[in-house]
């Protein structure tokens, strides 16, 4: 547990550092800024405007090269100060912003940046009379930056698409009429109306009979879902069938949509170890290269007979251009950013790129049963009575169960109907892993499993102990009254999920509070490696601790309930099943599967592996090409044009490789 939280702490501290300006631009814009009118055209670099300086510089440069090389004879006026001024005019549109940035960062104490390297290299080229090359290097650098911006914006787009699901207004019932107000001004308990085609502005309970909703913004699923009276509808869903009314259950800032937006925004601040290393490496590597360039310029004076300062300065400038670490500093965060975006499109939220890395190392997936592998939609199958008639004990049990949110309790309440509405419940006590105890209309009522009856010294016959299905035993005043058997249904893709994990060489385990016989039955049906039932929340913690004792095991725990929060925190990667489920589970988890589909566990691992593979491909590409051209440049075998390829060209290739993940299908 300490290991995982130490990593998170390091990542959060790293996020607080003053990072390179380009990397900061790669972060998601504030998802809470609602005053922008959703107009992100300028920010995303759409249109021709960002390209105008580069186009102007290119036109003037081509004209200068034509006058220098292609128009014969060269015009006599295109010499001296005229020629220098011509190339300065070509340089200013693309070079001046970079030089200014270099000066500003240097004033702040961060001297060795890519802006500094490019400024020194190009101004140095002007000093030795290589005007066209000085302009060309800065022009290609600027064009590379524009392509980088486009790639970053493309990576952001899948996440920033969530901005479009933020509702701008809500129709609220006040004084008998519907008033259009910002969602932030609506209070809990008020009634709102959602017309067909409108987005739900706040979480609420359905007051109307029902309607179908498009939930893709929250779950990634295109298939509409139907919600009926009494069910919870979430902000961001789109009403597709008829006008409905909802009773608001959460303020806008507490809604599921706002929570998801916050999680996605925060995901970009938690960096993977590889990302942290590259940033630290770049800060050490860049000054070293600068001093090496100074050495390349001056040291040969001590050893070379025909030493020419400008020749060695040119080699040093080439060395500086090649050394620029932008291919690494941009493409690696972009790779992780793309991975987070690809995951969000699949209905999977990573709370940070560090968890993308951890997902690749998982070899043990431990899962809760109810709500994770099964639907948690329980139905009463059988009811048996003993000395007390069913019509007497069932309403008492239902009155007690109505105070619980557990799916089994809901099944009992649904089966009992409305016969318990007027019964008074006092001294309610929920005994975790056992059941409920309370006074109903003056009678002590127990409703739970065999363990509860044993704890309360209520005699239970062997026949009850042998029942395999989930069972709710009811006792009135410590006298056995009857029982209900309840069955849950396995999710359609649970078998697919387990098979996919086995193909990834990941072992699977079920930990459940349900009876061992029920858990064994589910495990056998799904092909799960290990199954443990009859567990209390603390027993689940003990089981995960036992698995983690083997240092080779990297454990992911998948759960959906409040009682899963301790195990989610203990695991190396905590995965909350259902972005619409328990707040406690979602807050504790590191990865959230919004679709409620267990098959997405394997998808999350595959996305993590694909992201990490692309990141290391980019690292290898950048280092190998730069090393080769650095050696050639120091030996005088490479020109500024090769240097441009080693810098901007490699950066472009790395970026194109990084954005591949956004096109992959998982």
Q: Please determine, for residue 365, whether its predicted confidence score (pLDDT) is greater than 90.
A: yes
pLDDT for the residue numbered 245: 94
pLDDT for the residue numbered 474: 94
- In the sheet that holds 348-350, the strands lie side by side as 348-350, 591-593, 573-577, 555-559, 364-368, 507-511, 530-532
pLDDT for the residue numbered 364: 96
Residue ranges, CATH 3.40.1110.10, the chain: 379-487
Residue ranges, CATH 3.40.50.1000, the chain: 348-375+490-608
pLDDT for the residue numbered 5: 40
What percent of the chain stands above pLDDT 70? 82
Task: Using pLDDT thresholds of 50, 70 and 90, give the confidence band for residue 129.
Answer: confident
Q: What is the pLDDT of residues 188-242, one digit of tens each?
A: 999 999 998 888 888 899 999 888 887 766 655 556 778 888 888 888 788 888 8
Distance set, CA 523 to CA 376, 463, 464, 568 (Å):
16, 24, 22, 21
Per the residue annotation, which of 171, 357, 368, 596 is the catalytic one?
368
Angle at 427 between CA 450 and CA 188, to 5 degrees: 110
Q: What is the pLDDT of residues 480-510, one digit of tens each?
A: 999 999 887 888 899 999 999 999 999 999 9
- The torsion defined by the Cα of 211, 212, 213 and 219, in degrees rounded to 10, comes to 130
Whole-angstrom distance, CA of residue 606 vs CA of residue 462:
47
Q: Please determine, for residue 271, whether its predicted confidence score (pLDDT) is greater than 80.
A: no
Q: State the average pLDDT over residues 509-524.
A: 87
Q: Please determine, for residue 334, whether its predicted confidence score (pLDDT) is greater than 80.
A: no
pTM of the model: 0.65
Q: What is the pLDDT of residues 138-149, one digit of tens each?
A: 888 888 778 767
Tell me the pLDDT of the chain averaged across its residues: 80
pLDDT for the residue numbered 144: 74
Whole-angstrom distance, CA of residue 481 vs CA of residue 464:
12
pLDDT for the residue numbered 57: 94
Q: State the average pLDDT over residues 21-32.
A: 35
CATH of domain 379-487: 3.40.1110.10
* Cβ count near 164 (within 10 Å): 11
Q: State the average pLDDT over residues 308-323.
A: 83
pLDDT for the residue numbered 506: 96
Distance set, CA 406 to CA 41, 435, 590 (Å):
47, 10, 24
* Cβ count near 470 (within 10 Å): 20
Q: Please determine, for residue 39, whether its predicted confidence score (pLDDT) is greater than 70.
A: no
Domain 348-375+490-608 -> CATH class: alpha beta
User: Is 368 a catalytic site residue?
Assistant: yes
Q: State the average pLDDT over residues 509-531.
A: 90
Q: State the average pLDDT over residues 76-93.
A: 92
Distance set, CA 121 to CA 9, 56, 191, 281, 440 (Å):
38, 21, 65, 21, 84
Is the separation of the CB atoms in 483 and 474 below 8 Å? Answer: yes
Q: Which of 118-127, 394-403, 635-644 has the lowest mean pLDDT?
A: 635-644
Residue 576 host element (H or E): strand 573-577
pLDDT for the residue numbered 537: 76
Q: State the average pLDDT over residues 450-474.
A: 87
- Strand 204-206 relative to strand 232-233, pairing: antiparallel
pLDDT for the residue numbered 532: 93
Q: What is the pLDDT of residues 380-405, one digit of tens each?
A: 888 999 988 998 999 999 999 888 87
Q: Please determine, for residue 155, whether its predicted confidence score (pLDDT) is greater than 60.
A: no
Task: Using pLDDT thresholds of 50, 70 and 90, give the confidence band for residue 275.
Answer: low
CA atoms lying within 13 Å on the CB side of residue 497 = 27
* Cβ count near 507 (within 10 Å): 17
Q: Which DSSP string do the residues of 257-310 spell out, in sequence order? A: HHHHHHHHHHHTTS--HHHHHHHHHHHHHHHHHHHHHHHHHHGGGGT-TT--HH
Cβ partners under 8 Å of residue 456, min gap 6: 437, 446, 475, 478
DSSP 646: I
pLDDT for the residue numbered 13: 36
């Amino acid at each position: 547990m300490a290991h995982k939280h130490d990593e998170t702490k390091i990542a959060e501290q790293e996020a607080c550092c003053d990072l390179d300006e380009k990397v900061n631009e790669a972060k998601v814009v504030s998802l809470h800024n609602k005053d922008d009118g959703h107009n992100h055209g300028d920010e995303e670099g759409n249109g021709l405007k960002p390209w105008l300086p580069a186009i102007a510089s290119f036109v003037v440069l081509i004209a200068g090269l034509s006058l220098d090389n292609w128009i014969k004879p060269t015009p006599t006026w295109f010499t001296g100060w005229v020629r220098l001024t011509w190339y300065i005019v070509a340089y200013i549109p693309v070079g001046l912003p970079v030089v200014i940035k270099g000066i500003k960062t240097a004033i702040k104490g961060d001297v060795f940046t890519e802006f500094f390297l490019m400024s020194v290299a190009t101004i140095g080229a002007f000093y030795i009379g290589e005007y066209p090359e000085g302009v060309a290097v800065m022009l290609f650098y600027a064009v590379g930056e524009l392509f980088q911006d486009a790639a970053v914006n493309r990576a952001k787009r899948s996440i920033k698409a969530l901005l479009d699901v933020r509702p701008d207004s809500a129709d609220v019932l006040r004084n008998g009429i519907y008033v259009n107000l910002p969602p932030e001004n609506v209070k809990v308990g008020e009634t709102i109306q959602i017309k067909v085609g409108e987005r739900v502005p706040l979480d609420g309970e359905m007051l109307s009979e029902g309607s179908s909703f498009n939930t893709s913004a929250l779950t990634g699923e295109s298939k509409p879902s139907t919600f009926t009276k009494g069910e919870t509808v979430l902000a961001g869903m789109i009403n597709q069938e008829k006008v409905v009314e909802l009773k608001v259950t959460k303020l806008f800032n507490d809604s599921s949509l706002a929570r998801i937006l916050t999680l996605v925004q925060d995901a970009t601040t938690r960096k993977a170890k590889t990302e942290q290393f590259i940033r630290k490496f770049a800060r050490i590597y860049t000054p070293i290269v600068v001093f090496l360039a100074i050495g390349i310029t001056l040291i040969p004076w001590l050893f070379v007979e025909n030493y020419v300062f400008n020749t060695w300065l040119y080699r040093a400038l080439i060395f500086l251009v090649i050394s620029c670490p932008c291919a690494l500093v941009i493409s690696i965060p972009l790779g992780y950013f793309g991975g987070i975006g690809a995951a969000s499109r699949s209905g999977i939220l990573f709370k940070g790129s560090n968890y993308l890395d951890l997902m690749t190392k998982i070899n043990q997936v431990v899962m809760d049963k109810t709500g994770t592998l099964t639907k948690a939609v329980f139905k009463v199958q059988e009811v048996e009575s003993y000395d007390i008639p069913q019509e007497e004990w069932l309403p008492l049990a239902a009155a007690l169960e109505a105070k619980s949110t557990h799916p089994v309790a809901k099944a009992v309440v649904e089966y009992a109907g409305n016969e318990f509405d007027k019964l008074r419940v006092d001294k309610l006590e929920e005994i975790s892993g056992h059941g409920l105890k309370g006074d109903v209309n003056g009678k002590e009522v127990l409703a739970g499993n065999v363990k509860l009856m044993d704890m309360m010294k209520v005699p239970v016959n062997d026949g009850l102990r042998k029942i395999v299905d989930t069972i709710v035993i009811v006792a009135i005043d410590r006298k056995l009254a009857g029982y209900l058997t309840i069955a849950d249904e396995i999710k359609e893709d649970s078998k697919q999920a387990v098979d996919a994990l086995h193909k990834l060489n990941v072992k699977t385990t079920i930990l459940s509070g349900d009876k061992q016989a029920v858990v064994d039955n589910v495990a056998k049906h799904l092909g799960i490696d290990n199954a443990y039932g009859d567990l209390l929340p603390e027993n689940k913690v003990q089981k995960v601790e036992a698995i983690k004792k083997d240092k080779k095991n990297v454990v992911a725990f998948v759960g959906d309930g409040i009682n899963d929060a301790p195990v989610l925190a203990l695991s190396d990667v905590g995965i909350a099943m259902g972005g619409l489920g328990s707040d406690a589970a979602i807050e504790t988890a590191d990865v959230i599967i919004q679709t409620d589909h267990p098959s997405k566990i394997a998808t999350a691992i595959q996305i993590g592996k694909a992201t990490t593979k692309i990141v290391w491909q980019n690292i290898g590409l950048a280092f190998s090409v730069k090393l080769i051209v650095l050696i050639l440049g120091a030996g005088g075998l490479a020109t500024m044009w090769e240097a441009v390829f080693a810098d901007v060209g490699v950066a472009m290739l790395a970026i194109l490789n990084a954005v591949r993940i956004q096109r992959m299908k998982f």
